[in-house]
Amino acid sequence: MFRDNKFFKAVFIVGALGLVACGGSSDDDVEFKGTVQTVGDQSAFFGPKVAVADAQVCALSQCSFTDINGNWNFNVGDDTYQGGTVVFTVAYAGAEAATEISGLDDKSDEVIVDFIIQDDGTLFVASVRENDFDTIADEINEIGEEVEDEADSAEDSIDEEADSAEDSIDEEADSAEDSIEEEL
């Protein structure tokens, strides 16, 4: 009786499609991952680093605890992740610190952030990479290109001024030559 019922078939097909569509993680998810390490009172970029286990890393309403190697990860739907600035919080040993990371690309499908915590609880961002490209290096390259463009523009301006000065000197020399010839 139910097999011949068109309503039953329609509900079954829609339900089955819904299960397929909602199950598992989406290909449109953005994977956030990285590490949390600690150092002593030295600068965050020098000295020995130790992986931090059981630290909680949160951003965009998602959280993850670090494993024994200090690794963390979670997925965020691309409808939630819009790039730009993301606020991360890291909680460890009863302390919590937050930091903003700006300039993230909205087209990234992977964001890798490595944190360092000093013994006094200060949180540093050691590195940020998107899709395995270092965004800091990209920013440095962009700044380098801007500086190079400005240098090229300044060089062109200097060349124009030099050409103008040379033309002016040539005109004065020609005028002086004409003057001397007239006097002779």
Sign of CA dihedral 19, 23, 27, 32: positive
pLDDT in tens, the chain (184 residues): 434 444 334 333 334 333 333 334 556 799 999 999 988 655 545 667 899 999 999 999 999 999 999 999 999 998 889 999 999 999 998 889 999 999 998 888 899 999 998 877 788 898 898 885 555 555 666 676 777 778 778 888 888 888 888 888 888 888 878 878 777 7
Please state which architecture CATH assigns to domain 25-131.
Sandwich (2.60)
> Tell me, what's the pLDDT at 147?
75
The pLDDT value given to residue 150: 81
* pLDDT of 123: 87
Residue carrying structure tokens 């961002």:
125
Beta strands 110-118 and 29-39, pairing class: parallel
Q: What is the token pair recorded at 137?
A: 């290096």
Domain extents in the chain: 25-131, 133-184
pLDDT at 63: 97
CA distance 173 to 181: 12
Backbone angles phi and psi of 174, in degrees to 5:
-60, -40
